[in-house]
Amino acid sequence: MSVKNTLLTIVVSAGVGAVAGILFAPDRGDKTRRDLSRKSKKTQQDLTKKGRDFADMARHEFEDYLDNLRNKYESTKRFSDDLIEKGEAIADEIKGKLK
C-alpha cells in the first residue's frame, strides 16, 4: 500500500472513529471533548511523525538515486574517454602509415 493511501486510511479512520465516538458517547460532553482533543493531538503527532519519516525516506531514496546516477555517469565517462583515446591512437597509427 502506498504512503498516500496509508495516510488517507489513517485520516478517514480517525474521522469515522471520532464521529462514532460522539454519537455513542457514554460520557458527558466536556469529558468527550477532552478525549477528542487528546485523541486529535495524538493523531496530529502520529501524522507529523509519519510525514517526517516519509520525508526522510524520500530524501534517502533520492540521495541513493543520485549516487547511482553519478556512478553511471562516471563509468560512462571513463568508457567514452577510453574509446576516444583508442580512436586517437588508431588515427595516429593510420597517419603514420600514410606518410
Give the tens place of pLDDT for each residue, 15-73.
888 777 777 767 677 887 788 889 989 989 999 999 999 999 999 999 999 999 999 99
Rounded to whole angstroms, the Cα distance separating 46 from 39 reads 10
Q: Which residues neighbour 35 within 8 Å (Cβ) at sequence distance 6 or greater? A: 21, 27
**Model pLDDT, residue 8:** 79
| pTM for the full predicted model | 0.51
Which pLDDT belongs to residue 1? 58
Using CA atoms, how far apart are residues 65 and 57, in angstroms rounded to an integer?
12
- How do the domains of the chain map onto residue ranges? 3-98
